[in-house]
Structure 1
Amino acid sequence: MINESAVFWSRVLTELTLSFHIIYATIGVGVPLMIMIAQWVGYKNNDEHYILLARRIARGFVITVAVGVVTGTAIGLQLSLLWPNFMQLAGQVIALPLFMETFAFFFEAIFLGIYLYTWDRFESQKKHMLLLIPVAIGASMSAVFITIVNAFMNAPQGFDIVNGQIVNIQPVLAMFNPAMPTKVAHVLTTAYMTAAFVLASIAAYRLIRGSDHVYHKKSLYLMMKLGLVFSIATAVVGDFSGKYLAEYQPEKLAAAEWHFETEKGATLILFGVLDDGEVKYSINIPWGLSILAHNNPNAEVIGLDQFPEDERPPLYIHYLFNIMVFIGMFLALVALVFVVGKWRKWTFTNAKWFRWIIVMGGPLAIIAIETGWWLAEVGRQPWILRGIMRTAEGATTSDSVDLMLILFSIVYLVLGIGSVVVLRRMFRNNPIEQEIADRIAERGGDLQ
């Protein structure tokens, strides 16, 4: 028996938890690679500024990891409490990637602890830098395995259902489902891109506030270059994702693009509003959707008319898709202008107004991550396990979920405010100017 109230509050609580967790999870996946690259650049160029950059980022990273562990644990708890029917059906299949995700996290955490503890204990920076390789690998693999679980929910395979029970389970086949390659690649590239723009945002803000130190300028330049590289990679992967949806989840693509009728030479619709089923005030790109879906301007694209109304995703995901794409394009453009501007010595790249645009890049990247995940999850509706189990069928029937929502909301509020306060105090009490002065005193000369 389905309890509609329990289903609603379960979805709200799950969305809240994932929306909060994805911020720390994205930082947790992307930042280790940024730390490794910064320290590698410092070692290669014998530049202490980049090594200090790696060191300071690593300190702040520990705080975000701690919060990510708490929220990640909450997700695991809520899977069992809020979605017991889903876990009863699919739990045996997703157990392997969930276990591997935990293993990858501990692999990352062990080497991160060793890396932090052994600062200044290695005569060779190269040997110390090598500790970051398993940290970055562990962080990325943690994202890979948990994303595989989500991919399985979109393209379930590797089992048979007999009398309502899953049998003949093939965990490896289930993990390597059709949705896995594009979803994993998209999660990784967007995490790296977001981490780069967040760190660039911090550096630009410090420059605006008057800390015109070469350390912040080097940090900004490095992170904007990395942001440009990974934003381009994200765009490429996004194109593959569109082609995956056209073949395997056409209803999701049709809802996201407001493509109501199956046709050849389909138009790509950007923004707009719906008025009695008619799209108004939109930006239309002729043949754009056919090109996105099949690389052929005359290709046929399946519309929502091919699916029953109760199997169509909510149409508001169209706006989520547009926001995600336009933010990504904007960030790529800003990074390109900055990098080319530095190369061509355009003075406006040092202007206060342009640095404020870069500062906006950090929050905008987080918004793009959020809308991307909402698109991924809402776009699968009404299914929790596509084609097999509806979301309402997988939910709990408890009447206490609304109380759980209040309690978890308080926890997330405390964690969010607490992490910001701790990070601010950590860096305010240990300014970069003082740390550079200490390093100069240790070295007996200027830093490069």
Structure 2
Amino acid sequence: MANQEAVLFSRILTELTLTFHIIYATIGVGIPLMIMMAQWIGIKKQDEYYILMARRWARGFVITVAIGVVTGTAIGLQLSLLWPKFMEVAGNVIALPLFMETFAFFFEAIFLGIYLYTWDRFKNQKKHLLLLIPVALGASFSAIFITIVNAFMNSPQGFNIVKGELVNVSPVLAMFNPAMPTKVAHVLVSAYMTSAFLLASIAAFRMLKGSQHVYHKKALYFTMKLGLIFSIATAIIGDFSGKYLAEYQPEKLAAAEWHFETEKGAPLIMYGVLENKEVKYAIKIPVGLSILAHSAPNAEVIGLDRFPKDEIPPLYIHYMFDLMVTIGVWLSVLSFVYVIGTWKKLRFILSKWFKWLIVLGGPLAVIGIEMGWWMTEVGRYPWILRGIMRINQAATNSGHIDTMLLLFAGLYLILGIGSVVVLSRMFRKNTVEQELADRAAMKAGVGK
């Protein structure tokens, strides 16, 4: 069993890496779909502005992919170095999706390169659009396969341990574990939602800075519509996730909801503070937890009283759950109001204060993603493989994790600042107006 200092630093370093990586991974999954849809609409409507959206988004997407590769590699390295006992099991049972994730990424990267270097080389733009299909599929399947590994950690199956030896190993059964459907679906739609709100945030910010170009208005309306669709989808799948937790990880649901006593007709607790197991200042929705868990107002919901103290997750995950849900609801309302307001031509959606709300929507969506992942990972504590292997059994005994933590923190700081600087300079030097003027001049030259 690993010493406590090694376990602590291993947990901090893993959390830091995942926190940083999830930003670029989410963008890497969602943006290809946005690019493909924008270009498809541009071709269908013969609208140069949508074509330009696809072109500019693809250019910025390459930078985020590069950062995602570095941080993804760091995760693979850290799994082997920090959690060797876990990797002994994972290497024999769940290695298949890890391999398939690498293949999906290369599939995406190859076609992304071809797509970027063949702009304006197709007379029929529909053929160029076809190159985006494997890019979007590769990005999404990359997320699917790596999420399957995480789902396996929450609901391990496909093997038995007899006298310390793995027997009856079935990689396919391990992949299709009970957590897989809801977790994969939630990761995908939340990535699409977050990417849409990030792009909407950029468009609104450019409009606040004085640009009244049609490009930004169309980009804002397009991405806010997608944000509304995917925020609703995220909420629906989140409901299914709650029902999964009630059946397979009831201790996580109970900790997230501060549900201490098993009871029927359990209320849903939002916000509040906890003082000596007494909830204060909370909003209680009668029978809400029973409906969330079992779709029945009088259903019994298992409480924390049914679990040993050393198997109860940290109760602060309640705040993560609340923040995630609050942000999701807020973004759904914001995008709904914007879409309806645009349709009805309401003047307030053109105001500065409303645009600032949209600008804030992008960072809030990222925070929502972070809260969801933190709740998932912290909520599994003390298990790394739920019910089979504890975190302190899986961690390394190395005494140099604190040094690794400092080195990787420095790396992420450089990568984070560098990506922001590169992206801002890239688009500052190539404005929408300049690109449209250049393309018009190019077409005029070709016409002559």
TM range (shorter): over 0.9
Supply the distance in 1 between the matched residues of 2:186 and 2:370 (Cα, whole angstroms): 13
In structure 1, give the amino acid aligned to 2:140. Answer: S
In 1, Cα distance between equivalents of 2:155 and 2:221: 40
Q: Which residue does the alignment assign to 2:61? A: 61
Gaps of 5+ in 2: none
Paired AA for residue 118 in structure 1:
T
1:183-206, Cα deviation, whole Å (9 max, x unpaired): 000000000000000000000000
How far apart in 2 are the matches of 1:324 and 1:213?
Answer: 34
Shift, 1:377, TM fit: 0.1
Q: Which moved more, 1:263-272 or 1:89-98?
A: 89-98
Confirm whether residue 114 of structure 1 aligns to residue 120 of structure 2. no
Query: SS at 1:423's partner residue?
Result: helix
Matched, 1:249 2:249: yes
Q: Secondary structure of 1:284's match?
A: strand
Equivalents in 1 of 2:257, 2:277: separation in Å?
14
User: Partners in 2 of 1:225 and 1:13 — Cα distance?
Assistant: 37
Answering whether residue 148 of structure 2 is matched by residue 148 of structure 1, we say: yes
The offset of 1:90, in angstroms, is 2.4
Q: How far apart are 1:164 and its partner, in Å?
A: 1.3
- Tell me the equivalent position of 1:71: 71
The equivalences for 1:280-429 within 5 A come to 280-429=280-429
Which is worse superposed, 161-170 or 357-366?
161-170
Does the Cα contact within 8 Å between 2:29 and 2:192 map onto a contact in 1? yes
The percentage of aligned residue pairs carrying the same residue is 74
Larger mean Cα displacement after TM superposition, 431-440 or 290-299 = 431-440
Cα distance, 1:306 vs. partner? 0.3
How far residue 165 of structure 1 moved from its aligned partner, in angstroms, is 2.0
TM superposition shift of 1:88: 1.2
Supply the distance in 2 between the matched residues of 1:174 and 1:67 (Cα, whole angstroms): 30
2:235 matches 1:229: no
Where has structure 1 moved over 6 Å in runs of 4 or more?
none
CA contact (8 A) 2:201 2:360 kept: yes
* Residues in 1 aligned to 2:190 and 2:139: alpha-carbon distance in whole angstroms: 14
1: CA distance between counterparts of 2:58 and 2:162?
Answer: 50
**1:83-122 paired onto structure 2 within 5 Å:** 83-122=83-122
Is contact 1:159–1:169 with CA below 8 Å preserved after alignment? yes
Superposition map of 1:164-183 within 5 A: 164-183=164-183
Task: Tell me the TM-score normalised to structure 1 length.
Answer: 0.99
For residues 115 and 433 of structure 1, what CA distance do their matches in structure 2 show?
23
- Helix, strand or coil at the partner of 1:79: helix
For the 8 Å contact 2:2–2:394, the answer to whether it is kept is no
Match status 1:48 vs 2:48: yes
Aligned equivalents of 1:82, 1:405: Cα separation in 2: 11
Provide, for residues 141-175 of structure 1, a one-character-per-residue CA deviation record: whole Å limited to 9, x for no partner.
00000000000000000111111122221111100
Q: Tell me, in whole angstroms, the C-alpha distance in 1 between the residues paired with 2:159 and 2:276.
A: 42
Give the aligned residue type for 2:357: I
Alignment-derived partner of residue 27 in structure 1: 27
Residue type of the alignment partner of 1:187: V
Q: Which amino acid aligns with 1:298?
A: N
Counterpart in the other structure of 1:278: 278
Partner of 2:260: 260
1:128 equivalent in structure 2 = 128
Query: What CA distance in whole angstroms lies between the structure 2 residues aligned with 1:28 and 1:94?
Result: 23
How far apart, in 1, do the equivalents of 2:415 and 2:28 lie?
A: 16
Aligned-partner Cα distance in 2 for 1:31–1:2: 41
For 2:52, the aligned partner's letter is: L
TM-score w.r.t. structure 2 length? 0.99
Aligned counterpart, 2:186: 186
Q: AA paired with 1:137?
A: L
SS of 1:169 mapped into structure 2: coil
Structure 2: which amino acid aligns with 1:299?
A
Task: Write the deviation string for residues 341-376 of structure 1: whole angstroms up to 9, x where unpaired.
Answer: 000010111111100000000000000000000000
**Are the counterparts in 1 of residues 266 and 300 from structure 2 also a CA contact under 8 Å?**
yes
CA distance in 2 between counterparts of 1:442 and 1:412 reads 40
| SS in structure 1 of the partner of residue 94 of structure 2 | helix
Residue type of the partner of 2:411? Answer: V
For residues 215 and 90 of structure 2, what CA distance do their matches in structure 1 show? Answer: 50
The one-letter code matched in structure 2 to 1:204 is A
Q: Within 2, Cα distance between the matches of 1:115 and 1:167?
A: 46
Q: Please give the alpha-carbon distance, in whole angstroms, between the structure 2 residues aligned to 1:238 and 1:99.
A: 28
Q: Distance in 2 between matches of 1:100 and 1:89?
A: 18
Give CA deviations for 1:106-159 in whole Å, capped at 9, x if unaligned.
000000000001000000111101110000000000000000000000000011
Q: Secondary structure at the residue paired with 1:196?
A: helix
Give the number of aligned pairs. Answer: 445
How far residue 378 of structure 1 moved from its aligned partner, in angstroms, is: 0.3
Partner of 2:157: 157
Root-mean-square deviation (CA, aligned residues, Å) is 0.8
Offset at 1:50?
A: 0.3
State the alpha-carbon separation in 1 of the partners of residues 171 and 147 from structure 2. Answer: 15
